[in-house]
Structure 1
Amino acid sequence: MSFTTLQSLFAYKAWANRELFELLATLSPTHAEQLHVCIRTLNHIYVVDRIFRAHLSDESCPFDATNTQDTPSLSQLRSDVETTDAWYASYVATLTGPALSEVLTFTFTDGDTGRMSREEILLHVITHGGYHRGNVGQVLKPIAVAPPRDIYTKFLHTSEPTRRKA
Protein backbone atom coordinates (compact mmCIF):
# COMPACT_ATOMS: atom_id res chain seq x y z
CA MET A 1 0.00 0.00 0.00
CA SER A 2 1.29 3.47 -0.79
CA PHE A 3 2.03 6.05 1.87
CA THR A 4 -0.37 8.41 0.14
CA THR A 5 -3.18 5.88 0.53
CA LEU A 6 -2.37 5.28 4.19
CA GLN A 7 -2.38 9.01 4.86
CA SER A 8 -5.69 9.35 3.03
CA LEU A 9 -7.23 6.47 5.01
CA PHE A 10 -6.30 8.07 8.33
CA ALA A 11 -7.63 11.45 7.17
CA TYR A 12 -10.84 9.60 6.22
CA LYS A 13 -11.00 7.96 9.66
CA ALA A 14 -10.70 11.34 11.40
CA TRP A 15 -13.33 12.85 9.07
CA ALA A 16 -15.77 9.99 9.68
CA ASN A 17 -15.25 10.24 13.43
CA ARG A 18 -15.89 14.01 13.40
CA GLU A 19 -19.11 13.59 11.42
CA LEU A 20 -20.39 10.90 13.75
CA PHE A 21 -19.55 12.82 16.94
CA GLU A 22 -21.25 15.92 15.52
CA LEU A 23 -24.41 13.91 14.87
CA LEU A 24 -24.39 12.23 18.28
CA ALA A 25 -24.13 15.63 19.98
CA THR A 26 -27.55 16.49 18.51
CA LEU A 27 -29.40 13.45 19.89
CA SER A 28 -32.42 14.21 22.00
CA PRO A 29 -32.25 13.35 25.72
CA THR A 30 -35.08 10.89 25.02
CA HIS A 31 -32.46 8.74 23.30
CA ALA A 32 -30.10 8.54 26.28
CA GLU A 33 -30.04 4.73 26.20
CA GLN A 34 -29.07 4.62 22.53
CA LEU A 35 -26.48 7.36 23.04
CA HIS A 36 -24.95 5.32 25.86
CA VAL A 37 -24.64 2.29 23.56
CA CYS A 38 -23.05 4.49 20.89
CA ILE A 39 -20.55 5.97 23.35
CA ARG A 40 -19.61 2.50 24.64
CA THR A 41 -19.01 1.34 21.06
CA LEU A 42 -16.97 4.42 20.13
CA ASN A 43 -15.02 4.10 23.37
CA HIS A 44 -14.12 0.54 22.36
CA ILE A 45 -12.73 1.86 19.07
CA TYR A 46 -10.75 4.51 20.95
CA VAL A 47 -9.33 2.02 23.45
CA VAL A 48 -8.25 -0.37 20.69
CA ASP A 49 -6.72 2.53 18.74
CA ARG A 50 -4.71 3.48 21.84
CA ILE A 51 -3.63 -0.11 22.46
CA PHE A 52 -2.29 -0.43 18.92
CA ARG A 53 -0.72 3.03 19.17
CA ALA A 54 1.23 1.70 22.15
CA HIS A 55 2.35 -1.33 20.14
CA LEU A 56 3.49 0.89 17.27
CA SER A 57 5.34 3.22 19.66
CA ASP A 58 6.84 0.47 21.82
CA GLU A 59 5.10 1.96 24.84
CA SER A 60 3.38 0.19 27.66
CA CYS A 61 -0.23 -0.71 26.99
CA PRO A 62 -2.54 1.96 28.45
CA PHE A 63 -5.47 -0.43 28.94
CA ASP A 64 -5.91 -3.98 30.22
CA ALA A 65 -9.14 -4.59 28.29
CA THR A 66 -10.70 -3.47 25.01
CA ASN A 67 -13.11 -1.10 26.74
CA THR A 68 -13.15 0.82 30.01
CA GLN A 69 -15.39 0.12 32.98
CA ASP A 70 -16.50 3.73 33.18
CA THR A 71 -18.22 5.39 30.26
CA PRO A 72 -16.73 8.76 29.31
CA SER A 73 -18.89 11.72 28.39
CA LEU A 74 -19.46 12.25 24.69
CA SER A 75 -17.40 15.46 24.76
CA GLN A 76 -14.46 13.84 26.60
CA LEU A 77 -14.47 10.87 24.24
CA ARG A 78 -14.63 13.16 21.22
CA SER A 79 -11.58 15.07 22.47
CA ASP A 80 -9.68 11.84 23.15
CA VAL A 81 -10.56 10.45 19.72
CA GLU A 82 -9.49 13.67 17.98
CA THR A 83 -6.13 13.54 19.78
CA THR A 84 -5.62 9.91 18.81
CA ASP A 85 -6.70 10.51 15.21
CA ALA A 86 -4.15 13.36 15.02
CA TRP A 87 -1.46 11.06 16.39
CA TYR A 88 -2.15 8.43 13.72
CA ALA A 89 -2.15 11.06 10.95
CA SER A 90 1.21 12.33 12.15
CA TYR A 91 2.56 8.80 12.56
CA VAL A 92 1.71 7.66 9.03
CA ALA A 93 3.13 10.90 7.63
CA THR A 94 6.56 9.99 9.03
CA LEU A 95 6.74 6.30 8.10
CA THR A 96 9.27 4.85 5.70
CA GLY A 97 9.06 1.71 3.53
CA PRO A 98 11.15 -0.54 5.75
CA ALA A 99 9.21 0.50 8.85
CA LEU A 100 5.88 -0.53 7.28
CA SER A 101 7.00 -4.09 6.79
CA GLU A 102 8.61 -4.42 10.23
CA VAL A 103 6.86 -7.15 12.22
CA LEU A 104 6.09 -6.34 15.84
CA THR A 105 5.46 -8.83 18.60
CA PHE A 106 3.03 -7.80 21.32
CA THR A 107 0.56 -9.15 23.83
CA PHE A 108 -3.19 -8.80 23.33
CA THR A 109 -5.29 -7.77 26.34
CA ASP A 110 -6.44 -11.39 26.71
CA GLY A 111 -2.82 -12.47 27.21
CA ASP A 112 -2.29 -14.07 23.80
CA THR A 113 0.79 -13.14 21.80
CA GLY A 114 0.36 -11.32 18.52
CA ARG A 115 2.66 -10.64 15.59
CA MET A 116 1.73 -8.13 12.91
CA SER A 117 3.58 -5.81 10.60
CA ARG A 118 3.14 -2.09 11.16
CA GLU A 119 1.14 -1.98 7.92
CA GLU A 120 -1.18 -4.76 9.15
CA ILE A 121 -1.69 -2.93 12.44
CA LEU A 122 -2.56 0.28 10.63
CA LEU A 123 -5.01 -1.50 8.36
CA HIS A 124 -6.58 -3.17 11.38
CA VAL A 125 -7.07 0.22 13.05
CA ILE A 126 -8.80 1.54 9.92
CA THR A 127 -11.07 -1.47 9.34
CA HIS A 128 -11.87 -1.97 13.03
CA GLY A 129 -13.03 1.63 13.38
CA GLY A 130 -15.16 1.45 10.24
CA TYR A 131 -16.79 -1.78 11.38
CA HIS A 132 -17.83 -0.34 14.72
CA ARG A 133 -18.93 3.03 13.35
CA GLY A 134 -21.29 0.89 11.27
CA ASN A 135 -22.54 -0.70 14.49
CA VAL A 136 -23.31 2.78 15.81
CA GLY A 137 -25.24 3.51 12.63
CA GLN A 138 -27.37 0.44 13.26
CA VAL A 139 -28.22 1.74 16.74
CA LEU A 140 -29.35 5.06 15.24
CA LYS A 141 -31.59 3.75 12.47
CA PRO A 142 -34.40 2.39 14.73
CA ILE A 143 -34.73 5.81 16.38
CA ALA A 144 -35.10 7.47 12.94
CA VAL A 145 -31.67 9.11 13.00
CA ALA A 146 -29.81 8.72 9.72
CA PRO A 147 -26.15 7.97 10.38
CA PRO A 148 -23.54 9.87 8.37
CA ARG A 149 -22.56 8.27 5.07
CA ASP A 150 -19.31 6.83 6.37
CA ILE A 151 -17.81 5.81 3.06
CA TYR A 152 -14.36 6.45 1.65
CA THR A 153 -15.65 7.66 -1.72
CA LYS A 154 -17.72 10.39 -0.04
CA PHE A 155 -14.66 11.49 1.92
CA LEU A 156 -12.51 11.62 -1.21
CA HIS A 157 -15.02 13.65 -3.17
CA THR A 158 -15.81 15.95 -0.24
CA SER A 159 -12.17 16.63 0.59
CA GLU A 160 -11.13 16.90 -3.07
CA PRO A 161 -14.12 18.28 -5.03
CA THR A 162 -12.08 18.41 -8.24
CA ARG A 163 -12.37 14.63 -8.40
CA ARG A 164 -15.96 15.18 -9.60
CA LYS A 165 -14.74 16.90 -12.74
CA ALA A 166 -14.19 14.83 -15.88
Structure 2
Amino acid sequence: MRAHFQRFAAYNAWANLRLYDAAAKLTDEAWHRDTGAFFTSLAGTLNHILVADRIWMRRLTGEGETHTALTDMPFPALADLRPVREAMDARIIAFVDTLDDTAFGDDVHYSNTRGEPHHLQRGLILAHLFNHQTHHRGQAHHILSQLDQDPPPLDLLYFALPAA
Protein backbone atom coordinates (compact mmCIF):
# COMPACT_ATOMS: atom_id res chain seq x y z
CA MET A 1 0.00 0.00 0.00
CA ARG A 2 2.75 2.44 0.88
CA ALA A 3 4.39 2.24 -2.55
CA HIS A 4 0.99 2.69 -4.22
CA PHE A 5 0.25 5.87 -2.30
CA GLN A 6 3.80 7.15 -2.72
CA ARG A 7 3.32 6.85 -6.48
CA PHE A 8 0.04 8.77 -6.29
CA ALA A 9 1.59 11.49 -4.11
CA ALA A 10 4.44 11.93 -6.61
CA TYR A 11 2.04 11.84 -9.57
CA ASN A 12 -0.17 14.39 -7.86
CA ALA A 13 2.72 16.85 -7.49
CA TRP A 14 3.80 16.24 -11.12
CA ALA A 15 0.28 16.83 -12.49
CA ASN A 16 -0.19 19.97 -10.41
CA LEU A 17 3.14 21.37 -11.63
CA ARG A 18 2.12 20.82 -15.27
CA LEU A 19 -1.30 22.38 -14.70
CA TYR A 20 0.15 25.41 -12.92
CA ASP A 21 2.71 25.89 -15.71
CA ALA A 22 -0.17 26.07 -18.19
CA ALA A 23 -2.15 28.43 -15.94
CA ALA A 24 0.85 30.77 -15.70
CA LYS A 25 0.37 31.62 -19.38
CA LEU A 26 -3.05 33.18 -18.71
CA THR A 27 -3.84 36.82 -18.19
CA ASP A 28 -5.26 37.79 -14.81
CA GLU A 29 -8.62 38.35 -16.49
CA ALA A 30 -8.61 34.82 -17.98
CA TRP A 31 -7.46 33.33 -14.64
CA HIS A 32 -10.59 34.77 -12.99
CA ARG A 33 -13.00 34.46 -15.94
CA ASP A 34 -16.31 32.78 -15.17
CA THR A 35 -16.32 29.76 -17.47
CA GLY A 36 -19.43 28.18 -15.99
CA ALA A 37 -17.32 25.69 -14.03
CA PHE A 38 -18.54 24.41 -10.67
CA PHE A 39 -16.07 26.71 -8.87
CA THR A 40 -16.60 29.41 -11.52
CA SER A 41 -13.06 29.99 -12.81
CA LEU A 42 -9.63 28.41 -12.94
CA ALA A 43 -8.74 30.51 -9.89
CA GLY A 44 -11.76 29.15 -8.02
CA THR A 45 -11.11 25.57 -9.08
CA LEU A 46 -7.43 25.49 -8.13
CA ASN A 47 -8.12 27.26 -4.84
CA HIS A 48 -10.83 24.68 -4.10
CA ILE A 49 -8.35 21.83 -4.57
CA LEU A 50 -5.95 23.48 -2.11
CA VAL A 51 -8.74 24.20 0.40
CA ALA A 52 -9.89 20.56 0.33
CA ASP A 53 -6.31 19.34 0.75
CA ARG A 54 -5.84 21.64 3.74
CA ILE A 55 -9.00 20.27 5.31
CA TRP A 56 -8.02 16.63 4.77
CA MET A 57 -4.39 17.09 5.83
CA ARG A 58 -5.52 18.80 9.01
CA ARG A 59 -7.80 15.82 9.68
CA LEU A 60 -5.01 13.36 8.94
CA THR A 61 -2.22 15.10 10.86
CA GLY A 62 -3.92 17.45 13.33
CA GLU A 63 -1.72 20.25 11.96
CA GLY A 64 -1.90 23.01 9.40
CA GLU A 65 -4.47 25.44 8.15
CA THR A 66 -8.03 24.38 7.50
CA HIS A 67 -11.26 25.87 6.17
CA THR A 68 -14.96 25.57 6.87
CA ALA A 69 -16.13 26.50 3.36
CA LEU A 70 -15.10 24.60 0.24
CA THR A 71 -15.59 27.78 -1.78
CA ASP A 72 -12.91 29.75 0.10
CA MET A 73 -10.40 31.47 -2.17
CA PRO A 74 -7.43 32.18 0.09
CA PHE A 75 -5.12 32.99 -2.84
CA PRO A 76 -6.84 34.94 -5.63
CA ALA A 77 -3.50 35.51 -7.42
CA LEU A 78 -1.80 32.55 -9.10
CA ALA A 79 1.60 33.90 -8.02
CA ASP A 80 0.49 33.57 -4.39
CA LEU A 81 -1.30 30.24 -4.81
CA ARG A 82 1.48 28.38 -6.62
CA PRO A 83 4.10 28.26 -3.84
CA VAL A 84 1.44 27.20 -1.34
CA ARG A 85 0.32 24.43 -3.72
CA GLU A 86 3.91 23.26 -4.14
CA ALA A 87 4.40 23.25 -0.36
CA MET A 88 1.18 21.26 0.07
CA ASP A 89 2.30 18.70 -2.51
CA ALA A 90 5.62 18.33 -0.68
CA ARG A 91 3.72 17.98 2.60
CA ILE A 92 1.50 15.23 1.17
CA ILE A 93 4.55 13.36 -0.15
CA ALA A 94 6.33 13.66 3.20
CA PHE A 95 3.22 12.51 5.08
CA VAL A 96 2.74 9.41 2.92
CA ASP A 97 6.45 8.63 3.34
CA THR A 98 5.98 8.46 7.14
CA LEU A 99 3.34 5.73 6.93
CA ASP A 100 3.96 2.01 7.07
CA ASP A 101 1.68 -0.48 5.34
CA THR A 102 -0.45 -1.07 8.42
CA ALA A 103 -1.19 2.66 8.89
CA PHE A 104 -3.39 2.74 5.78
CA GLY A 105 -5.95 0.50 7.49
CA ASP A 106 -6.16 2.59 10.66
CA ASP A 107 -9.31 4.60 11.31
CA VAL A 108 -9.07 8.37 11.37
CA HIS A 109 -11.72 10.16 13.43
CA TYR A 110 -12.65 13.65 12.27
CA SER A 111 -15.51 16.12 11.96
CA ASN A 112 -16.78 17.30 8.60
CA THR A 113 -17.22 20.98 7.73
CA ARG A 114 -20.65 20.92 9.44
CA GLY A 115 -19.08 19.60 12.65
CA GLU A 116 -20.53 16.08 12.30
CA PRO A 117 -18.26 13.29 13.58
CA HIS A 118 -17.06 10.62 11.15
CA HIS A 119 -14.33 8.05 10.78
CA LEU A 120 -12.76 6.38 7.77
CA GLN A 121 -9.67 4.31 7.10
CA ARG A 122 -6.58 6.40 6.39
CA GLY A 123 -6.07 4.68 3.03
CA LEU A 124 -9.60 5.52 1.92
CA ILE A 125 -9.11 9.15 2.91
CA LEU A 126 -5.88 9.33 0.93
CA ALA A 127 -7.52 7.63 -2.06
CA HIS A 128 -10.28 10.25 -1.86
CA LEU A 129 -7.76 13.10 -1.59
CA PHE A 130 -5.96 11.98 -4.76
CA ASN A 131 -9.18 11.15 -6.61
CA HIS A 132 -10.65 14.52 -5.65
CA GLN A 133 -7.64 16.31 -7.06
CA THR A 134 -7.80 14.29 -10.27
CA HIS A 135 -11.49 15.10 -10.65
CA HIS A 136 -10.99 18.84 -10.28
CA ARG A 137 -7.78 18.87 -12.34
CA GLY A 138 -9.95 17.45 -15.11
CA GLN A 139 -12.25 20.44 -14.73
CA ALA A 140 -9.24 22.77 -14.73
CA HIS A 141 -7.97 21.04 -17.88
CA HIS A 142 -11.31 21.78 -19.56
CA ILE A 143 -11.26 25.39 -18.35
CA LEU A 144 -7.84 25.85 -19.98
CA SER A 145 -9.34 24.59 -23.24
CA GLN A 146 -12.18 27.10 -22.91
CA LEU A 147 -9.57 29.84 -22.44
CA ASP A 148 -7.84 28.86 -25.72
CA GLN A 149 -4.86 27.32 -23.94
CA ASP A 150 -3.41 23.93 -24.80
CA PRO A 151 -3.86 21.95 -21.59
CA PRO A 152 -1.00 19.57 -20.84
CA PRO A 153 -1.48 15.80 -20.79
CA LEU A 154 -2.07 14.81 -17.16
CA ASP A 155 -2.72 11.07 -17.47
CA LEU A 156 -0.97 8.88 -14.93
CA LEU A 157 0.59 6.93 -17.79
CA TYR A 158 2.49 10.02 -18.97
CA PHE A 159 3.93 10.29 -15.47
CA ALA A 160 4.77 6.58 -15.31
CA LEU A 161 6.41 6.31 -18.73
CA PRO A 162 10.20 6.50 -18.72
CA ALA A 163 11.58 9.77 -20.10
CA ALA A 164 12.42 9.54 -23.79
TM-score, with normalisation over the residues of structure 1?
A: 0.86
- Give 1:155 shift: 0.6
SS at match of 1:72: coil
The 5-angstrom pairing of residues 14-163 of structure 1 reads 14-29=13-28, 31-34=30-33, 37-59=41-63, 62-157=66-161, 160-161=162-163
Given that residues 106 and 122 in structure 2 are in contact (C-alpha distance below 8 angstroms), is that contact kept between their aligned partners in structure 1? yes
- Structure 1 residues 139 and 58, CA gap change in structure 2 (3 angstroms): same
- Give 1:54 shift: 0.7
SS at match of 2:138: helix
After superposition, the CA RMSD in angstroms is 2.1
- Flag structure 2 segments of 5+ consecutive residues without an equivalent: 35-39
SS at match of 1:67: coil
- Give 1:149 shift: 1.0
- Structure 1 residues 47 and 156, CA gap change in structure 2 (3 angstroms): same
Corresponding residue for 2:37? none
- Give 1:110 shift: 2.4
TM-score, with normalisation over the residues of structure 2?
A: 0.87
Given that residues 32 and 43 in structure 2 are in contact (C-alpha distance below 8 angstroms), is that contact kept between their aligned partners in structure 1? no
**Which contiguous aligned blocks of 4+ residues in structure 1 show a shift greater than 6 angstroms?**
none
For these two proteins, the number of residue pairs brought into alignment is 159
Letter in 2 for 1:78: R
Partner Cα distance (1:156, 1:64) in 2: 35
- Flag structure 1 segments of 5+ consecutive residues without an equivalent: none
Partner Cα distance (2:87, 2:73) in 1: 21
Task: Return the structure number with greater helix share.
Answer: 1
Given that residues 44 and 73 in structure 2 are in contact (C-alpha distance below 8 angstroms), is that contact kept between their aligned partners in structure 1? no
- Give 1:34 shift: 3.0
Letter in 1 for 2:78: L
